[in-house]
Chains A and B, each alone.
Chain A
Amino acid sequence: MSSSSSSDDELGGARIPIGQRPEWSDVRPVPQDEGPRPVVAIAYSGEFRETMDYFRAVYLAGERSPRALDLTGEAIEMNPGNYTIWHFRRLVLEALNVDLLKEREFVDHTASHNSKNYQIWHHRRWLAEKLGPEAANREHEFTRSVLALDAKNYHAWSHRQWVLQALGGWENELDYCHQLLEDDIFNNSAWNQRYFVITKSPLLGGLQAMRDSEVDYTIEAILANPQNESPWRYLRGLYKGETNLLLNDNRLTDLCLKVLKTDCSRVLALSLLLDLLCNGLQPSEELKEVVESMRHDRSEPSNANLAAVICSILEAMDPMRLNYWAWRRSNLPSEIC
């Protein structure tokens, strides 16, 4: 039983109306019940209406048959977002004991042009769960193909993470993240996945084991594009709950210094520096000088502490978030440089 055959025919223009197919002659279609007094009188037309009317008939009759399965395939093709059709399709699949690999072909086909539809991903997961660990690689290939077209597809990422945790397939995941970041270093989804891998992969030893090399990797990415917010946040994430390590890693202050000496956007470097100072960093003379040189109004005597100076610079540099930086300035810890 190939559930997509009829809809393929339809694409070819040779679709036979359901009412004229002999296998459906015993079924009376059921129109949408609009409730006691319709608020919204939805008028159905043509194929869509007919398919839905027959769908309602098998649905209400609870018919778990091959033809019901085919019909849900046609109905999904026309309206893949309809929750009830998918729901019923699973009931039929469970009752019929069908070949689930066939079902996966159907989902592949449907998902290829509906990659942002919740129902399809949900159905896919239900299927993968039934197929078990052997399905892992195939699922990773599938999400890879979706992400090749839209590298930030939220559903694909959720599915991929679920498959990793439930069915495995971690071996090449860090390489995959690297590859996606090579394609687009601004891809926040790939940075998120990278964090997911280094913290959760059973093969890598966790954050502590990965921290050092990841810091180098991230710094390189930042230096290439200092305006990219994702690696700056990733860098902070690498020191989550480890303020001492954060303050004592000279690579971070060096990074800030390097970026501040360039002409690139310096907001994120100043922001990290501000956080470091708020956590007790003792700034070097060089750092102080670089920040001083960025001061807008140098006529004003600079007896303010370095953190306050940074806030004022940021207020001028990032006017859209002026209130945020002003708030930071008025909430600086009392005993900092």
Chain B
Amino acid sequence: MGELEAEKHVQYILSVEKRKDDFESLLMEHLRINGAYWGLTTLDLLRKIEAVDSDEVVSWVMSCQDQDCGGFGGNVGHDAHLHYTLSAVQILLLFDRLDILDIDKVSDYVAGLQNEDGSFSGDIWGEVDTRFSYCAICCLSLLHRLDKINAEKAVDYIVSCKNLDGGFGSIPGGESHSGQIFCCVGALAITGSLHHVDRDLLGWWLCERQCKDGGLNGRPEKLADVCYSWWVLSSLTMIDRVHWIDREKLAAFILNCQDRENGGISDRPDNAVDVFHTYFGVAGLSLLEYPGLKPIDPAYALPVDVVNRIFFGK
């Protein structure tokens, strides 16, 4: 099935970070901070994060912060959003540079987005989605500020999004989707509330996501896609059911989606690569304990050594 082209993926990510005059990077401009998180975490899992200048990255991240509200935008001068804020915090943690952050200011911004019913809005416009519950809970936990929200209500809201198949949707009644399941199970794991998950029912639904080609899909009857290697696998890991799928076939599927010449991983074999799927492919392989990769934490989506540093000191 071939090996992981680790060195080529490192080169690919470094080249994306430097690329100019390229339409894809123009369209990605507003997601810059998410892209930086995907790229940098991949580099760290590949044990090559020292290839970037951490001071440059950290000062750029800090310049994306909205000085009024305390949240982060997707790029310099852009409006703050919970998702961008989580990426910013995660990047700072990769470099162990939380010291530069006014933690109370950021965590007040995040906590301020909780609604009466326990859900979270992504921004001041009030869009509600369990993705934002995850962003908020993950972010506050990483900052040691979970006490700023009503965690019980936050958990209740997530549980209200549980479906008959054991999975979770974006809102109560929303269809189960592997990406949303990662967010909900992740948030429940972080708040110590996994007893709300019907592990066997959900585990079976998740392992039914493995298709004949070995890859995982996000919903029934959908095609397998590398990004679900992360969402499904991390969820299975959190509920201790990862051995229910055929791990070798999944690893082979991911490795088959590599661009062996120029590096990077695509959503499906022979498609164009991007940073997003490169991250999810490498993160999936990390959960599969692929040799040479740093282990990744399934709930915080950061390397385990980074998470240990946050919660247990160095």
Residue of A44, A152, A229, A236 near B26 (CB, 8 A) is: A44
Within 8 Å CB of A157, what residues of B?
Answer: 174-175
Assess whether A229 is in contact with B220, with CB atoms less than 8 Å apart: yes
Residue of A38, A88, A233 near B165 (CB, 8 A) is: A233
Within 8 Å CB of A323, what residues of B?
Answer: 243-245
Contact with A along B137-180 (1 / 0, CB 8 A): 00000000000000000000000000111000111011111000
How extensive is the interface on chain A, given as a class? 35 or more
Within 8 Å CB of B71, what residues of A?
Answer: none
Interface check B21, CB cutoff 8 A: yes
Contact with B along A266-305 (1 / 0, CB 8 A): 0000000000000000000000000000000000000000
Contact with A along B63-80 (1 / 0, CB 8 A): 110000000011111110
Task: Output the nearest chain A residue to B243 by Cβ-Cβ distance.
Answer: A323
Within 8 Å CB of B163, what residues of A?
Answer: 192, 195, 237
Within 8 Å CB of B204, what residues of A?
Answer: 324
Within 8 Å CB of B244, what residues of A?
Answer: 321, 323-324, 327
Distance, CA A45 to CA B24, complexed state (A) = 12
Q: How far is the CB of A45 from chain B (nearest CB, A)?
A: 6
Residue of B30, B169, B243 near A81 (CB, 8 A) is: B30
Residue of B77, B127, B203, B249 near A32 (CB, 8 A) is: B77
Q: How far is the CB of B184 from chain A (nearest CB, A)?
A: 15
Assess whether B27 is in contact with A79, with CB atoms less than 8 Å apart: yes
Interface check A83, CB cutoff 8 A: yes
Within 8 Å CB of A56, what residues of B?
Answer: 77
Distance, CA A152 to CA B220, complexed state (A) = 10
How extensive is the interface on chain B, given as a class? 35 or more
Within 8 Å CB of B74, what residues of A?
Answer: 83-84
* CB-contacts of A127-178 with B (<8 A): 152, 154, 157-158, 161-162, 165
Distance, CA A38 to CA B171, complexed state (A) = 38
Within 8 Å CB of A195, what residues of B?
Answer: 163-164
Assess whether B208 is in contact with A87, with CB atoms less than 8 Å apart: no
Distance, CA A189 to CA B175, complexed state (A) = 6
Within 8 Å CB of A6, what residues of B?
Answer: none
Assess whether A43 is in contact with B20, with CB atoms less than 8 Å apart: yes
Residue of B21, B25, B79, B177 near A84 (CB, 8 A) is: B79
* CB-contacts of B90-139 with A (<8 A): 123, 125-127
Residue of A122, A125, A324 near B203 (CB, 8 A) is: A324
Assess whether A33 is in contact with B173, with CB atoms less than 8 Å apart: no
Interface check B308, CB cutoff 8 A: no
Interface check A187, CB cutoff 8 A: yes
Distance, CA A322 to CA B78, complexed state (A) = 49
Assess whether A321 is in contact with B125, with CB atoms less than 8 Å apart: no
Within 8 Å CB of B175, what residues of A?
Answer: 154, 157, 188-189, 192-193
Assess whether A154 is in contact with B177, with CB atoms less than 8 Å apart: yes
Within 8 Å CB of A189, what residues of B?
Answer: 175, 219
Q: How far is the CB of A224 from chain B (nearest CB, A)?
A: 15
Assess whether A33 is in contact with B76, with CB atoms less than 8 Å apart: yes
Interface check A234, CB cutoff 8 A: yes
Task: Output the nearest chain B residue to A239 by Cβ-Cβ distance.
Answer: B164
Distance, CA A3 to CA B207, complexed state (A) = 47
Given A83-B78, A192-B175, A320-B249, the answer on whether A36 and B60 have CB atoms closer than 8 Å is yes
* CB-contacts of A177-234 with B (<8 A): 186-189, 192-193, 195-196, 199-200, 229-230, 233-234
Interface check A37, CB cutoff 8 A: yes
Within 8 Å CB of A82, what residues of B?
Answer: 29-30
Q: Among B32, B125, B205, B241, find the residue whose CB has the most chain A CB atoms closer than 10 A.
A: B125
Q: How far is the CB of B97 from chain A (nearest CB, A)?
A: 14
Residue of A35, A41, A88, A90 near B64 (CB, 8 A) is: A35
Contact with A along B237-254 (1 / 0, CB 8 A): 000010111100100000
**Nearest 3 CB-CB pairs, A to B?**
A237-B164, A35-B63, A192-B175
Given contacts A33-B63, A35-B63, A83-B74, 16 further A-B contacts (CB under 8 A): A34-B60, A35-B59, A35-B64, A39-B52, A40-B36, A60-B77, A81-B27, A82-B29, A83-B79, A88-B79, A90-B125, A192-B176, A195-B163, A323-B243, A324-B204, A327-B244
Write the residues of chain A forming the contact surface with B, with a CB cutoff of 8 angstroms.
32-45, 48, 56, 60, 79, 81-84, 87-88, 90, 118, 122, 125-126, 152, 154, 157-158, 161-162, 165, 186-189, 192-193, 195-196, 199-200, 229-230, 233-234, 236-237, 240, 319-324, 327
